[in-house]
Amino acid sequence: MDLSQSLEIVTRTDVGMVRSHNEDSVFANPAQGLAILADGMGGYNAGEVASGMTTTLLGSELVKTFTRLAPHCADSNGRLHAHSALETEIAKTNSAVYQAAQSQPQYAGMGTTLVMAVFYDNSMTVAHIGDSRLYRLRGDEFQQVTRDHSLLQEQIDSGFITAEQARHSQNKNLVTRALGIDPTVEPEIGDYDTLPGDIYLLCSDGLNDMVEDEEIAMTLQMLSANLDLCALQLVQMANDNGGRDNVSVILVRVKRGYPASRRFGGWFARLLAWLK
Amino acid sequence: MAKLILSMDSLVIQEIPLNKERITIGRKPHNDVQIDNLAVSGEHLVVVTVLNDTFIEDLNSTNGTFINGQSIKKHFLQNGDVVELGKYRLKYIKDAKEVSQQVATTDFEKTMVLRPGMAQKTVEKAESRSMGDTQVGIKAMAPPPRQAPQPAPAALPLGTIQVLSGANAGREMDLIKTLTTMGKPGVQVAVIARRPHGYFITHVEGANFPIVNGKTLDAQAHQLSDHDVIELAGVKMEFFIKA
């Protein structure tokens, strides 16, 4: 099912004002309802390799697997295909990045964060690893959907420090999960309903470290009519505030509902999947 | 490494290097640092250090712990903070090198992966790390930035829009916020962005683009100068800088 009539997606990635490389990667496919953002880490250009491999592999493989069986259908084990496909493909991508890091000395230790969303049947499935985020603007309400896998977030959760203190912490850059650094990785996966008018923002920490949430929310609200400009403005704000890291954003606007057609697509796809 | 300097009546008694994750301070001898004074509780407070961050937590002491004169339960220490317990004072000093490093580069540090049991190692490593060191699993500091962060620009003078025609003629609007949108939603909207080096107008939506000093803009942002005349959805307005 082609979702490009229902979803508007824009992507923008920028090296920032300080770094010499852009280690972020983005991928979007409005027809398939896919948005993927990765923020790589590792010496020399290894970070770029890790994030690039991740968005490219996940993007192409998920488009293939969702063409075969729609995300809302149940797979052969009776699980939601969106979930099983994400788990499988993220595990495969993790192995690929890990293998590359193991076999090539210049890539040793590389890894990447990941935040991605699959839109289908008036809802979305979000998967994330590390400190790249997904936010939602619904009406006037701006909310962070994902919770960082970072030392800082763990400290906040355990009541060790408050969110206010966290802003002054020196430990902003420590993630507790990353893709490609271990043989296996556990993504956090969640399902959310979407409504027409919602705007989703996927971003790397280069945005949310440099720009306050309120400013991000204001920008999304004011410039929602022009997503391209909105993405540009967000990147510009991060750079105006110092641009100390690479900045990447993906904006997704739900233009109208996109219920899955179950009557034929559903059982036909299941039959196809069963025949395979 | 950061340290606390213990003093009484401005006499330095002891320097306490923060080389452990938890350092307890109190009157009883089993504390890491013992202060044998009745105004100090048996277990008075604990100092917790995680990598470069240090917190102080009062352990329900009888006479309390004060930071810069304020009674606290838990506090995130900043360089130069003075902790008071009874007549004793503890001054928190960050390593000068560390401070300057932090100012200069902490924010440039790349994201690192933290694995269980690594915190201690990272702390040890932090003491001896050299720029550009890379290890599997731990990405050390980023190379020095290509350019120093730009000094904060002098405060941008306040820009204001005065409406010249239409129903709201005469009305003024100060451009205080980062973004100010103008026009009629669904018909024609433009946004003025307040940036460190000036004010920029950009077309947001609508078939018609804003006109500045008689010239129609394209999709690019356009920097406004004092006394520029903007035309938007049939309304004329003037941009000017307030002295």
| Reported confidence tier of residue B98, pLDDT bands at 50, 70, 90 | low
- The per-residue b/e assignment along B109-129, b for 16 or more CB within 10 angstroms, e otherwise, is bbbbbbbeebbeebbeebeee
Task: Assess contact for B209 and B224: CB atoms under 8 A.
Answer: no
- What is the mean pLDDT of the segment spanning A70-76? 89
| Reported confidence tier of residue B10, pLDDT bands at 50, 70, 90 | confident
- A20 in contact with B, Cβ within 8 Å: yes
Of B105 and A20, the one with more pLDDT: A20
**Which of B112, B145, B196 is the closest to A18 by Cβ?**
B145
Partner-chain contact A225 B185, CB within 8 Å: yes
- What is the mean pLDDT of the segment spanning A32-54? 91
- B120 in contact with A, Cβ within 8 Å: no
Partner-chain contact B189 A42, CB within 8 Å: no
CB contact residues (below 8 A), chain A span 71-110, against chain B: 108-109
Task: Give bridge partners of residue B4 from the DSSP assignment.
Answer: B16, B92
**pLDDT value, residue B168:** 86
Share of chain A above pLDDT 90, in %: 74
**CA A71 – CA A84 distance, rounded (Å):** 9
Q: Which residue has the tokens 């903007």?
A: B230
pTM of the model: 0.73
How would you classify the pairing of strands B228-232 and B222-223? unpaired
**Which of B76, B114, B135 is the closest to A175 by Cβ?**
B114
**CA A113 – CA A119 distance, rounded (Å):** 20
Q: Which residue of A has its CA nearest to B198?
A: A240
- What is the mean pLDDT of the segment spanning B65-79? 86
Share of chain A above pLDDT 70, in %: 94
Q: Which residues does B150 contact at the CB level (< 8 Å), separation at least 6?
A: A17, A242
- HSE-up of residue B127 (Cα within 13 Å, Cβ side): 11
Give pLDDT tens digits for A113-129: 999 999 999 999 999 99
**pLDDT value, residue B108:** 47
**pLDDT value, residue A93:** 97
| Reported confidence tier of residue B131, pLDDT bands at 50, 70, 90 | very low
A-B contacts (CB, under 8 Å): 125
- What is the mean pLDDT of the segment spanning A226-247? 94
**CA A83 – CA A92 distance, rounded (Å):** 14
- What is the mean pLDDT of the segment spanning A205-227? 93
- B193 in contact with A, Cβ within 8 Å: yes
Q: What is the mean pLDDT of chain B?
A: 79
**pLDDT value, residue A157:** 86
